[in-house]
């Protein structure tokens, strides 16, 4: 059994092993989702609908800042957002969907832990040593991205989209489904994008990217990052795009630093060998 765990399992046995990892991950998501379903008021009134309310932390801080520096435009989302439901089962379906999204977010560390358990036996001991802590760093980066998207991107997105008009005749009365879609897509996209340093690290480990490659294409990376910032922020104003783009550029620079460390370690190993 021990030999099989070190890489002598057949293809079908690997598939069976992967299936159980996926099943355990799915169970974790469902359990967290059930927990979120039970705490409906906290999930909806406080968390999900929070960014649209005047007393939301970001809205209050920006409004106070705007008053001090005399920029009235920073005092936005000052009127509570009113949403509508147009389907009979709309609110119940929204309750289930948001509960599953919360389950996905909360279950992310365990999902990656299960993925790590699956790929770990295929790694050499030195590779396992270098990858130690990967679950921790990936989890931290993901939640930092989620928090960043929730507290910074979503208030700006809500303000812009709710107040944008193609004509004064057309009134914005957003539905609960469209609001939920906006919040979840922005927050999840932000969490995934914050995994950029980890992705660069592993690509450097397998030799697909190098520090010189990353430096050479830094200008191209800036353009791609700003385009991505424009995609995940449904607001065309430059301030919001820079608000998303600058942290991503910082993460790219961290990726270059990590790639340098990988390159130095590879060179040191070659000299020692």
Which three-class secondary structure state does DSSP give residue 20? helix
pLDDT of residue 243: 75
| pLDDT of 148 | 92
- Residue-level pLDDT at 130: 62
User: Does the pLDDT value for residue 25 go beyond 90?
Assistant: yes
What is the per-residue burial (b if ≥16 Cβ within 10 Å, else e) of 45-70? eebbbbbbbeebebbeebbeeeeeee
Q: Is the pLDDT of residue 129 over 70?
A: no
Query: Strand, coil or helix: what is 67?
Result: helix
With H, G, I as helix, E, B as strand and everything else as coil, classify residue 107: coil
Q: Check pLDDT > 70 for residue 75.
A: yes
For 160-181, write each residue's pLDDT tens digit. Answer: 888 888 888 998 889 999 999 9
The rounded distance, in Å, linking the Cα atoms of 247 and 24 is: 34
- Tens digit of each residue's pLDDT (9 = 90 or more) over 210-240: 889 999 888 888 888 888 777 666 556 677 6
Q: Are 44 and 83 in contact (CB under 8 A)?
A: no
pLDDT bin (cut points 50, 70, 90) of residue 147 is very high
């Amino acid at each position: 059994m021990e030999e099989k765990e070190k890489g002598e399992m057949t293809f079908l046995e690997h598939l069976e092993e992967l299936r159980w990892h996926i099943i355990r991950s799915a169970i974790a998501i469902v359990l967290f989702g059930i927990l979120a379903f039970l705490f409906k008021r906290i999930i909806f009134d406080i968390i999900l609908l929070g960014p649209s309310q005047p007393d939301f932390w970001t809205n209050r801080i920006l409004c106070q800042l705007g008053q001090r520096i005399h920029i009235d435009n920073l005092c936005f989302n000052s009127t509570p957002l009113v949403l509508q439901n147009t389907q009979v089962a709309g609110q119940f379906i929204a309750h289930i969907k948001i509960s599953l999204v919360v389950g996905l977010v909360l279950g992310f560390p365990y999902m990656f832990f299960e993925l790590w358990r699956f790929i770990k036996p295929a790694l050499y001991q030195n590779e396992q040593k270098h990858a130690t802590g990967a679950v921790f760093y990936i989890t931290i980066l993901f939640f930092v991205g989620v928090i960043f998207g929730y507290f910074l991107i979503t208030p700006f997105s809500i303000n812009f989209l709710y107040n944008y008009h193609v004509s004064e005749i057309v009134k914005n009365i957003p539905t609960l489904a469209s609001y939920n879609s906006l919040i979840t897509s922005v927050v999840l996209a932000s969490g995934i994008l914050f995994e950029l340093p980890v992705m660069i690290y592993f690509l450097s480990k397998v030799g697909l990217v190098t520090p010189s490659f990353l430096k050479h294409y830094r200008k191209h990376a800036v353009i791609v990052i700003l385009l991505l910032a424009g995609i995940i922020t449904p607001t065309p104003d430059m301030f919001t795009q820079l608000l998303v783009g600058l942290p991503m550029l910082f993460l790219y620079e961290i990726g270059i630093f990590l790639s340098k460390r990988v390159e130095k370690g590879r060179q040191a190993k070659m000299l020692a060998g």
